[in-house]
Each structure stands twice: as C-alpha cells, then as structure tokens.
Amino acid sequence: MKRMRRTKIVATLGPASDTPEMVRRLHEAGADTFRINMSHLPREGLRDKVAMLRAVEDQVRRPIPILVDLQGPKLRVGAFQDGGAMLANGDAFTLDSSDLPGDGARVQMPHPEILAALEPGHTLLIDDGKMRLRVKDVSRGKALTEVEVGGRISNRKGVSLPDTLLPITAMTEKDRSDLEAALDVGVEWIALSFVQRADDLADVRKVARGRALVLAKIEKPQAIVHIDDIMEASDAIMVARGDLGVEMPLEQVPGLQKRLTRLARRQGKPVIVATQMLESMITSPVPTRAEVSDVATAVFEGADAVMLSAESASGQFPVESVATMSRIAEEVERDALYRTILTAQRNEPEATGSDAIAAGAHQIADTLGLKAIAAWTFSGSTAMRLARERPNATVLALTPNRETARRLGLVWGVHPIATRDAFDIDDMSARAAKFAIREGLAKVHDRIIVVAGMPFGTPGATNLVRIAFVTQEHAAMA
C-alpha cells in the first residue's frame, strides 16, 4: 500500500482499537505506526498486542513499526482523610514526609527526592496545572508553600515541578520491566518519558543494546535546557505538548514545537508532534477548525509524524480520526507553500560521504524531476540521511533487515521494503527498478536514482549514486 503522503501517522492502541479488525481498518485509513502506552497496559499483555500487530502486518504485507511508550515516574501527593480538601488562594499548605492522611493544612509528598530538591520560589503544579503552589520555605522533610491558584486537591493527584531538576532517573523499576518485555517481543521503537538530561537515555540504551531505537519525549522544561545533548543521545524525539503546556507557559509551546522540529531535521532524526491534535474527535466525528490548522502546521513544518492518543485509543471515532489526519496531511503536501517552507529550512550537508551522496541524490532528483530515490540500506542510516533532505522524490528504502524496514516506517517520505541484499551493481539497479514499478513509483521509460554502499552489506558505507532506466524487462520482473 503506497501512501500518497510523506508525513507519517502514529495511532495509539486502546479499548477502541483493540482487535485485529480495527487495527487493519486503522492501517488502511492511514496509520503507519502503532503506539502501545505502558501506562495503561500490564507487561503481561504486551506480547498479545505485538502478536496482533504482526498478524495484521502479514495480512497487509507492509512493515508496521511498533512504538512502546514507557510510563516514566509518576509524582503524586498522598491520600487525604476525607478524600480531599479545598485550598483557597493565599492559604499556607505544607508538603511533608509523614504518612498520616492529609487535610486542609498538609499532605504527604511520598517522594523524598522531591522534598530534598525543592527550593524557595519553586512552583508546584497539581492536577495538570489546575492548582499552583509556591514554595516559601524548606526544612528537613518538609516544604511550606503558599497557594497561588486554589481549588480542590484530592487523593493521589499528579504533581509537576517546572522549576526543579529532580535527582531521579527517568526509568522506574516498572519501566525497566516493561522495557525488557518490549525488547523480548521485538518492538522497533522505545519512547522514554520524563527525560530531563541526556544521561536519562543511557540506562535505556544500555539495556536495549541496539535491539530497538530510543525516542526521547520532550515534556519538561529541563529537557529544553539540555536539548542539544538529548538530541545527540537519542534516535528520535517526540514533542509531547500536553506536559510541556502544563509545566511551561502555554504561549511558548508553539514556538518550541517549531524549534524542536527544525532541530530534529538538522540532526537527521525523526520527530513526532503529539498530544490533543484532534482531541474533539474523541466524541465528535469531525474536528474543530483550530485542530485542523494545528495538524496542518505540524505537517507544514516538516514533522516526520503526527500522533493520535485518546482519539484512536479510547475515542468513539478512531477510524475517522486517522482518516481525517491523513487527508489533512495529503492536502498540506499538495500546497505550493509546503515545498517552499521545506526548502527554506534545508540545512547544508555535513562533511561526510553519506551526507554528500544524499544531497547529490536530492539535487539530481529535483533537476531531472524523478519520482523515486531507491536506497539500499542495512542499518537505515542512508534512508534517514535522504529523508533529512526532504526530497520531492519518495525514498524507496530497500533492506535485507526486516527490523530496519519497520524502523524506517516512522521516517518522513520513506517507503520501506524488506528484500534480499543486492549482489552486484546490475542486480542493485534492476531490482530497484522492479520495486519502483511494483510500488507505483515509476513506469517503463522512467529514470530512478539508486543509492548504495560498496561493498554491499557494509553498514554506513554509502558511496555510490546511479541513475537507472526503467525498462520493459523490469516491468516483467515486477
């Protein structure tokens, strides 16, 4: 199934999309990658979910990437004697280490690391920012705060700390267990929550050992401060706008989204824009005009993928949500401004052979008006470097590694095919032409570009670009 768009769609699995039939409908509607949120799934259920996706993959005969999203630390207040308490603006309220039930004057903060890291002037946001406390004084095991925005605080409500760099790892014991389970069943992407610094990714990489690629969710102000190092340490990023919008001023999030999208492209790494993209379609068959504009903005900016969360996981219209997102992306990519914006954001190639080949292939394709760049790749890096150029031509990624084909299903403009490796230059060109015809990217008498590395099967050795003619013989092979 050849998509008519370059931007990919990530759909989250959940109660509304929990059967093979629904997964296939979502894929046919436009979902390219499926996300499994471990916040709502015990690790024992992961194998069945992956098996279901692999069965659908076999049916549609297209690589389907699986993204497992680790929960990360969940910071919450303790329990209250009456289930909760009303706090008014200006009230004094204490957070402490006592396990006694809370009341209108205090509550337990069952995270001693938070109490140790708080300083006067720091902000605490309760229940997704609905309430705001300001730290006035800190003593051993206790923080006195003033209520700046009051309301009802109740049992186990979440806490966000936009000003505080917490001395905790982004991966909990639950995450470690879930990560091992995800690697055992062979998923392609692991998303890490609560990333504050590049070191947070080290534990995941140490466990993964290359068996899956690691995606950093950018959802905390501290991550923005260390974004260059985080980008260097990750294989991709997600702009998690929901939590960013809680911990940072809402008006700063759109600019950050653009900055992060462009930074990821400059690094040649995929970027997903996520959270509330078509939120109203949880209960409505059509989105708001503002939501359509929001999705379109992410596509105009050249994001590799846009993501649906509750819309596809628990909404009433999961298929319609995916189809709507797909139509928006297709329409944007037909707009004359789309190519203008992508070209204006283009970066100079790095001084490497792979980047020079990718830039050259892009220039050749544009000059000759070619529709396909066939990239023979083992690790996927060649296809990713080509995608960084955002060419007019579709990147037909040909790889002997099925895992690589799946991983590339998340990358802008890449159409991955798992096939045996080429054994010489003529075979490389002939089978590239055959697949270009089979996938609807070329016809007889067209030309395509073929990019590869010599000797074949050597990862990271991209050093060859060739113009190949598509012949009747290639059509017969297809």
Query: Could you tell me if 101 and 248 lie in one domain?
Result: no
Per-residue pLDDT tens over the stretch 159-183: 999 999 888 888 999 999 999 999 9
Q: Where are the beta strands (DSSP E) in 117-218?
A: 123-126, 131-139, 142-149, 151-154, 159-160, 189-192, 213-218
Q: Is residue 62 part of a domain?
A: yes
What total of structural domains would you count in the chain?
3
Q: Are 233 and 218 in contact (CB under 8 A)?
A: no
Whether 119 and 138 have beta carbons less than 8 Å apart is answered as: yes
Question: Is 303 a member of any domain?
Answer: yes
Query: What amino acid is encoded at 2 in this protein?
Result: K
90 and 16 co-located in one domain:
no
Say if 435 falls within a structural domain.
yes
User: Do 188 and 262 reside in the same domain of the chain?
Assistant: yes
> What CATH number has the domain bearing residue 95?
2.40.33.10
* Whether residue 291 has pLDDT greater than 90: yes
**What pLDDT, in 10s, does the model give residues 306-345?**
999 999 999 999 999 999 999 999 999 999 999 999 999 9
- Same domain, yes or no: 214 and 268: yes
Look up the CATH number of the domain holding residue 262.
Answer: 3.20.20.60
Cβ count within 10 A of residue 174: 17
| φ, ψ at 87 (rounded to 5°) | -115, 130
Do residue 175 and residue 301 come from a single domain?
Answer: yes
- In this structure, the answer to whether residues 357 and 401 fall within a common structural domain is yes
- pLDDT score for 18: 92
Q: What is the pLDDT of residue 1?
A: 58
Q: Is position 77 within any domain?
A: no
Residues 191 and 261 placed together within one structural domain of the fold: yes
Catalytic residue numbers?
A: 35, 76, 217, 275
pLDDT tens readout for residues 89-129: 999 999 999 999 999 999 999 989 899 999 999 999 999 89
Q: How far apart are CA 17 and CA 180, in angstroms?
A: 24
pTM: 0.93
Where is the domain boundary, 310, 336, 362? 336
- The amino acid sitting at 159 is V
Looking only at the bridges linking them, the beta strands covering 372-376 and 447-453 are parallel
Gap between the Cα atoms of 154 and 101, Å rounded: 11
Q: Is the pLDDT of residue 71 over 90?
A: yes
Give mean pLDDT, residues 247-272: 96
The answer to the question of residue 341 being in a domain is: no
Residue 218: strand pairing partners:
239
Torsions phi, psi of 294, nearest 5?
A: -65, -50
Domain range for 30: 8-72+169-336
Q: Could you tell me if residue 363 is inside a domain? A: yes
Based on the domain organization, do 301 and 190 belong to the same domain?
yes
Distances (CA, A) of 55 to 28, 63, 129, 133, 330: 15, 11, 41, 49, 28
C-alpha span between 42 and 285 (Å, rounded): 30
Q: Is the pLDDT of residue 470 over 90?
A: yes
Helix axes 46-60, 173-184, angle to 10 degrees: 30
Check whether residue 186 and residue 329 sit in a common domain. Answer: yes
Last residue of a domain, one of 305, 336, 367: 336
Q: Within this chain, do residues 415 and 331 fall inside the same structural domain, yes or no?
A: no
Phi first, then psi, for residue 348 (nearest 5°) are: -65, 140
Residue 243 CB partners (closer than 8 Å, separation 6+):
160, 219, 220, 275
Q: Note the pLDDT of residue 408.
A: 98
Asked if residue 344 is part of any domain, the answer here is no
- 78 in a structural domain: no
Residue 6 has what pLDDT? 97
* Residue 9 pLDDT grade (very low, low, confident, very high; cuts 50, 70, 90): very high
Which of 336, 361, 384 marks a domain boundary?
Answer: 336
Model pLDDT, residue 460: 65
Residue 221 sits in the same domain as residue 331: yes
Closest by CA to 77, choosing from 136, 161, 139, is: 161
Quick one: 128 and 68 in the same domain?
no
- From 154-168, 273-287, 447-461, the region with the lowest mean pLDDT: 447-461
Q: What's the N-to-C CA distance of the chain in angstroms?
A: 15
